[in-house]
A and B are shown apart, each in its own frame.
Chain A
Amino acid sequence: MAATFAEKLLARAAGVASVRAGEVVDAYPDLIMSHAASWRCIRMLERLGTDRLYDPDRIAMVMDHNSPAYSAKTAGDQKLCREFAAAHGIGKFYDVEAGIAHVVLMEAGHVRPGMLLIGTDSHSTIYGALGAAGTGVGFSEVAATWVSGCLWMRVPESIKVTIGGPLGAGVFAKDVMLKLIGDLSADGATYCSVEFDGSYVEGLSVSERMTLCNLAMELGAKFAYVPPDDITRGYLGQRGLPRGGYEELFPDAGASYQREVRLDGPALGPQIACPHTVDNVRPVEAVAGTRVHQVFIGSCANAKYEDLAEAALILRGRHVASGVRLIVTPASKNVLQRAIADGLISVLLESGALITNPGCGACAGDGGVMADGEVTLSTANRNFRGRMGSYQSEIYLASPAVAAATAIRGVIADPRDLAPVPVRAS
């Protein structure tokens, strides 16, 4: 019988010939990621009364939230993780300088097509950008899986999302996802595996695929998936993973989908998620002119090199509006290095931006929080009440291009109204 990506992947991870949506299997993740929650996992392991790990090579730890430590408590938590990793031979340990776990692990070549990953972060769906299956779990579950190597998983139903391309100028993967989340609602894909497809996806960069799969979590998805292709293989090749060194999985023709959704890419304009839910989505025209106090370009959704470049294209030769704070938090050390090397960081600094260390930053409320009555336009993936400071503040979500245009104007603005400033030859 024809199988979906999720059915093939969980059959492989459970070591059985085939599974069907709805079945519950014991699945063995290829990689177990924990981030700032790592110390909590270690404390749970202590309660289990063992420190015999199933396979230290399947464990990755990344210190991305609350980094560098801002309190003695957090410093102690991170120290615990460092010492644990050293004592247990966890080679995939990334300290406070590395950046956001998801981006760090993909850049380091730890994520391959066909893998099953679990992580202490809901946005673990992002690994679908490389044809892998990732999903978020709690810290107790990670600790138990460190020991047993497996966890129960229900084989999800699948939803196919077909996106026609190309998108218009000033429109990006973020807009595609906000439109989908607004249309389908925040539980439109709960428990489901979302398979992306269509002419837009075929030509897409890995960076934009990450944005698609990351935001699928905001539909409630368990997995997200983009079929691996030459773009995937090229990305992996640059990270020392040759073709044939991994098993690509593809859905069969005729596989069964709970729902098929089509999105007309060329007709799409920039989208904004308004306070305080991710599915409260409106076209930019409907909220243009809304005063903001802060703009945040960061998070695992939109702080990759391509995202910074998108923003810099608009910010080059312009200045952030008076009274607006523009905070840019690169997703990783690699993103920051590349952005320094080719001058993007200078462009951002000259425009008036504050550049912070790589990591989760303001998205997780680590620095860049708001006072009562303030408004932030953010490139992150959540706008829940109080997530960035005061419970009486507001968060709007949008693409890096909208963020750049908004920072310049001081009000929510359409990036299509701000053509790049011509660069004079020197």
Chain B
Amino acid sequence: MTGGRGGSIGGRCATFGDGVNTDVIMPGRYLVSIDPAELAEHVFEPLGPQAQARVRAARVIVAGRNFGCGSAREQAASGLAGAGIVAVIAASFARTFFRNAINTGLPAITQPELAGAVADGDEVIVDMTAGTVSANGRSFPFPPFPDSLLRILQAGGLIPYVAAQIRAAGAR
């Protein structure tokens, strides 16, 4: 997560509908890689070059229900992060994607109204501390993350978070 605690994150958004699955976000043939930069080239490839260009121009994904359904592949989340996405805001998430997003340091924010209130290219700003998303002069609340998940996001994901804990335990 960029911006740090108390800061705002966001930028232009790319919008998607309901039921966006992880095969579409990151096709299985590319799972041989775990490099976010390499994965980023293939994000949304099945939807064609136009969809990919929309995502490349965006910092935030806004979507409908059940975003990230399907496979538990973590690269769906890390590939989006690699493509410069700083937050995904959806009406609801599949639980595997939600966990993977947090664990790769990508905020996955549940907000049911935003998808109906923004269009491609609109500016979307997330205030993680206040628990609000702002777009087009409106403010949309979301339940703030529990501290345990915020700590993982602030560390940049689960692996850097646990690595820091292990180092701290070793130094004691």
**How would residues 27 to 45 of chain A score, 1 for a CB under 8 Å from any chain B CB and 0 otherwise?**
0000000001100100110
Say yes or no: is B104 at the interface (Cβ < 8 Å to chain A): yes
Q: Which of B114-122, B124-132, B156-164 lies at the binding interface?
A: B156-164
Question: Could you give, for residues 34-70 of chain B, a 1 whenever the CB lies within 8 Å of some chain A CB and a 0 otherwise?
Answer: 1000000000011110000000000000000110011
Q: Which of A36, A122, A143, A152 is in CB contact (< 8 Å) with B159?
A: A143
Task: Flag whether A394 is at the interface (Cβ < 8 A).
Answer: no
Within the complex, which residue of B31, B71, B166 is in contact with A49, where a contact is CB–CB below 8 Å? B166
A121 touches B72 (CB 8 A): yes
Whole-angstrom distance between the Cβ of A87 and the nearest chain B Cβ: 19
Of B23, B46, B48, B163, the contact of A382 (CB 8 Å cutoff): B23
User: Who on chain A is nearest to B33 by CB?
Assistant: A73
Any chain B CB within 8 A of the CB of A220?
yes
Q: Name B23's contact: one of A136, A143, A147, A384 (CB within 8 Å).
A: A384
Known: A187-B94, A190-B95, A364-B28. A387 touches B23 (CB 8 A): yes
Contact with B along A254-283 (1 / 0, CB 8 A): 000000000000000000000001010000
Bound: A50/B24 CA distance, A:
34
A416 within 8 A of B: no
Instruction: Find chain A residues with CB under 8 A from B32 CB.
Output: 66, 71, 73-74, 77
A424 within 8 A of B: no
- Residues on A with C-beta less than 8 A from B96 are 122, 136-138
Contact between chains at B103 and A385 (CB < 8 Å): no
A44 touches B159 (CB 8 A): yes
Given the known inter-chain contacts A141-B103, A220-B95, please indicate yes or no for A385 contacting B148, CB distance below 8 A.
no
Residue A290 is within 8 A (CB to CB) of chain B in the complex: no
Please give the number of chain A residues whose Cβ is less than 8 angstroms from any Cβ of chain B in the complex.
45
**Residue contact A137 to B24, C-beta cutoff 8 Å:** no
Interface residue ranges of A29-76 to B (CB < 8 Å): 36-37, 40, 43-44, 47-50, 66, 71, 73-74
Expressed in whole angstroms, the Cα–Cα distance for A72 and B94 within the complex equals 34
Instruction: Establish whether residues A191 and B29, one from each chain, have CB atoms under 8 Å apart when the complex forms.
Output: no
Residue from B34, B71, B93, B167 within 8 A of A122 (CB atoms): B71
A162: Cβ under 8 A from any B Cβ: no
B162 touches A48 (CB 8 A): yes
Tell me whether B15 is interfacial, beta carbon within 8 Å. Answer: no
Residues of B within 8 A of A24 (CB): 146, 148
Min CB gap B129→A, angstroms: 20
Say whether B163 contacts A48, CB under 8 Å: yes
Quick one: which of A73, A122, A364 has the most chain B CB within 10 A? A122
Q: Are A49 and B95 in contact (CB under 8 A)?
A: no
User: Please, which residue of chain B has its CB at the minimum distance from the CB of A52?
Assistant: B166
Kindly state whether residue B8 has any CB partner on chain A within 8 Å: no
CA distance A136 to B48 in the complex (A): 29
Tell me the chain B residues, 109-150 only, with Cβ under 8 Å from chain A. 146, 148
B12 within 8 Å of A by Cβ?
Answer: no
Q: Cβ of B23 and Cβ of A220 under 8 Å apart?
A: no
| Docked complex Cα distance between A402 and B37 (Å) | 42
Q: Which A174-230 residues sit within 8 Å CB-CB of chain B?
A: 186-187, 190-191, 220, 222
| B29: A residues at CB distance < 8 A | 365
Check A385/B72 contact, CB under 8 A, given A44-B159, A137-B96, A138-B99. no
Contact of B166 with A40 in the complex, beta carbons under 8 Å? no
Of B23, B66, B73, B92, which one neighbours A385 at CB under 8 angstroms? B23
Chain A residues lying within 8 Å of B21, measured Cβ to Cβ, are 277, 382, 384
Nearest chain B residue, comparing its CB with the CB of A148:
B162
A96 to B79, CA, bound (A): 28
CB distance B71 to A47 under 8 Å? no
User: Which residues of chain A come closer than 8 Å to B65, judged between CB atoms?
Assistant: 187
- Check B28 against A187 for contact (C-beta < 8 Å): no
Of the candidates A47, A50, A144, A386, the one whose C-beta lies within 8 Å of that of B46 is A386
- How far is A56 from B100 in the complex, measured between Cα atoms in Å? 24
Which residue in B19, B99, B100, B163 is a CB contact (below 8 Å) of A186?
B19
Interface centre among A37, A71, A138 (most CB of B within 10 A): A138
Interchain CB contact under 8 A, B24 and A385: yes
Alpha-carbon separation in the docked complex, A364 to B27 (Å): 10
Contact with A along B1-37 (1 / 0, CB 8 A): 0000000000000000001010110011101101000
* Inter-chain contacts of B146 with A (CB < 8 A): 24
User: B residues near A, CB below 8 A?
Assistant: 19, 21, 23-24, 27-29, 31-32, 34, 45-48, 65-66, 69-74, 77, 92-96, 99-100, 103-104, 146, 148, 157-160, 162-163, 166-167
